[in-house]
Amino acid sequence: MRKQLPLLLTGIAALWFVLCKYIHVFNATGAMTTTDKWYNIVIATMTFIGVVNLTRIHTTHIQRRRSGYHNSIILLACLWGFLAMGLYYTNKHVNYRWVYDATVVPFEATMFSIIAFFIASAAYRAFRIRTLEAAALGIVAALVMLGNVPIGSVISGWFPEARSWLMNVPNGAGFRAIRIGINIGSFAAAMRIALGLERAHLGSGQ
């Protein structure tokens, strides 16, 4: 029953969504709209379960003084602090906005900015012309990089044109094929989950 019930619920929910989408009667009676509202409630509940689970895991880290437990203290303080602040002030209050703009925005921007430095050093080590394919990759990367910035057009008007051709023709063809493959694969994976053929998310059952 522990595995059969979730599989049954998944199958019923998937069938319901398909019926609501493709059978006009279900859509016209507002069943789809009601289902969408329930979806939002379920997502919110799942998010809260995630928060509780995260708290449980990191509290265990702190209690057992595992390596890096001070990071767990900071995480829990920020997580519950923001939650409390949001509940008390609401996210439209000037105090909440100030804390958000002073912490989350610069932290997240910094994390992404650090990636640029990592890319620079990784590119230096990775772009070695060992084979013909590596040479093609390196040359195309250089053309696209120079075509994307103003200094490329200052050096030569040919760089933006080369970049445009590379993006529209070979890249366009490649990504078209990738998209088709991804969408077919996603559909197949969704069908497997809906039909109960995919059970990895249910755990080992021990």
Partner 1 sequence: MWEKLQTLDRRVIYLFFVIALMIPLFKPMGLPIPIGEESQRFYDAFDKLAPGSVVLMSADYSPGSSAECNPQFEAVIKHAFRNNYKVMVFALWEQGAMLARDIAEQVSKSMNKTHGVDWIFLGYRPGGNIKIREMSNDLWGALLNIDGYDRPLNESPMMANIKKLYPPDIDAIVCFSSGSPGDGDYMAVVTDPSGIPLFTGQVAVQVPARVPLIRSGQLAGMIPGMGGAAEYENLTGFPGKAAGLMDAQSLAHIVILGFIVLGNIAFLAARKT
Is the Cβ of residue 9 or residue 129 nearer to partner 1 in the bound state? Answer: 129
Helix (H) or strand (E) holding 74: helix 69-89
Q: Are 160 and 152 in contact (CB under 8 A)?
A: yes
Q: How many residues bind partner 1 (CB under 8 A)?
A: 56
Examine residue 108 and tell whether it contacts partner 1 (CB under 8 A). yes
Alpha-carbon distance of 10 to 205, in angstroms, equals: 18
Q: Are 150 and 159 in contact (CB under 8 A)?
A: no
Alpha-carbon distance of 145 to 149, in angstroms, equals: 7
Q: Which stretch binds partner 1 (CB under 8 A): 3-11, 49-57, 60-68, 96-104?
A: 96-104
Report the residue from 73, 77, 101, 156 that binds partner 1 according to the rule CB under 8 A.
Answer: 101
Report the residue from 67, 117, 131, 203 that binds partner 1 according to the rule CB under 8 A.
Answer: 117
Chain residues 47-86 in contact with partner 1, contact rule CB under 8 A: none
Q: Are 50 and 61 in contact (CB under 8 A)?
A: no
114 CB burial (10 A radius; 0-12, 13-18, 19+) = exposed
Report the residue from 25, 87, 94, 120 that binds partner 1 according to the rule CB under 8 A.
Answer: 120
Q: Which stretch binds partner 1 (CB under 8 A): 1-9, 53-61, 77-85, 110-118?
A: 110-118
Q: For 103, phi and psi rounded to 5 degrees?
A: -120, -65
Chain residues 133-172 in contact with partner 1, contact rule CB under 8 A: 138, 142, 145-146, 148-154, 160, 164, 167-168, 171-172
Q: Are 32 and 26 in contact (CB under 8 A)?
A: yes
Examine residue 44 and tell whether it contacts partner 1 (CB under 8 A). yes
Alpha-carbon distance of 82 to 96, in angstroms, equals: 9
End-to-end CA distance of the chain: 14
Is the Cβ of residue 25 or residue 111 nearer to partner 1 in the bound state? Answer: 111
Instruction: List residues binding partner 1 (CB under 8 A).
Output: 32-33, 36-37, 39-40, 43-44, 90-92, 97, 100-101, 104-109, 111-113, 116-117, 119-121, 123-125, 127-130, 138, 142, 145-146, 148-154, 160, 164, 167-168, 171-172, 175-176, 178-179
